[in-house]
Each structure stands twice: as structure tokens, then as C-alpha cells.
Amino acid sequence: MMANDEMEPVIQAKRPSANAPVEGSVSLPIPAVDPKVDDVVAPPLSPPPVVLPRPVLDAASLSYRSTRKELISVFVACTHLNLPQLPQTFFQSIFKGKKPDTNLPEIRVEVDIKPVGDDAAKASTVFHHTTEALRVKNPSFSVGLTIPVPVSKANSDEYHLHFRVVQTDVGLEKTVATTEMMCGLLLESFKQGSPVVHLPLLASTSQEAILSLTLARVFPIKHNVLPTQNMLMHMYAF
């Protein structure tokens, strides 16, 4: 109440309805929503992993894997190959006195184990190994070949060792000499303690080419600190 007995004005507050606009407020237009731009697109699901089938081994590979083998390490040397020298360029002829071996062919020796058959070229290879490449007249390779030879005589006679002398500095490589021997013969020489096995090479450049296999009797020794070790042996001659 006021002092002059005048009634105070009554202010009534009205609650605005949901549809009625609020005084003093500015209604902004609602922007149109483009579903192609503003919608969150889920990333595509990754395809399931593809399981590749294992290669099917032939009967010769399965039979070779199931046999008990003796690891025989050999060092390879070649003599009397008489391979033709490489053609020299102008710059090679100038520096011939400083590098006398630049015109010698570069070769390496590869060995395959294949089952005995009528056609050795089509027979499946069950083992493959190779030496390093050297550019010398009569190479004596430092990297040894560890060959797993079947222990049983019946099994060792079923497989042959095929040696190839490959020239690596011409085109896509070229085989210049070959020879072969039975796995049983190498195993018998190893058991009898033969130091070297000599094999004649079939080469078009020489009738006196010889492939020599020096047998190395090296066996793995269990490590005293590390009980687990890789049993793959790499042999080197110094």
C-alpha cells in the first residue's frame, strides 16, 4: 500500500505459449539441411582377409621331406674351365694393367637335388643351394654348400645331385658346365673319410674341366648360455 491510499498497479506476467513469438526476440530462418553433405557417412567396412591356399607339394618333395638326412658340407672349386674372356671396351683396355681380371667371366656354382628320372630337366627340385659369384680363372668358392643327403641307401639312390656352373655377367645368366652324382656316392665318401671328391664337368669350352668337392666335417655345438639357436649352418673357408 502507498501513503496516499492509492492502489499499487498489479503487473501480471503471462507465460508465453510454445507457438507465440517472444517479444524482443528475432526469429532466424532454419537453414536447409543437405543430407548428402551434413550427414555423417559411416566408413566402409574393410573386406575380409583373403586366405591363400598352401602350395600343393608333389610326391617327390613329400617323399624327400619324410626321409632322415645327413647334413654334408662341401666347398666347391673349379679347374680348367677355359671360359672365353669378355670383350673389352676402350676404357677397360686403358686400365687393363691396373685391373687384370676385368675381362674374366664371373661365375658361380649351383646345386640341385632331384629324383632320378628319365627327364632330369622336368624333374622337380627338392633342394637348391648356390655359392657366391667370383671373377677368377680357377675359382675356389669360400661359401660352402650344406647338402641334406638321405641317410638310407635306398633313399639316397633315388636322388641325384646336379651341379651347374653359371656365368652371371652375360644376359640372363648362362649355364656353361654341368655334372651330376648320386647322393649315395657323396654319403659313402663322407662316411669313409674322403677329403675331396672330383667330378668331371661337361663343358663346351674344355674337355679337362674338373669340379672338386672338399668335404668339411663340421657339426653344430649347443650354446651354453642360449639354449635355443638356429640350426642352419653357413660354412665359410678362409
Encode pLDDT of 178-202 as tens digits.
Answer: 999 999 999 999 999 999 999 999 9
CATH fold of 59-87+100-216 reads Immunoglobulin-like (2.60.40)
Taking 70 as the pLDDT cut, the residues of the chain under it are 1-43, 54-57, 87-102, 118-122, 219-223, 226-236, 238
C-alpha dihedral sign at 147, 151, 157, 159: negative
What residue segments make up the domains of the chain, in order of their start? 59-87+100-216
CA distance 23 to 153: 108
74-94 as b/e, with b when 16 or more CB fall inside 10 Å?
Answer: bbbbbbebebeebeeeeeeee
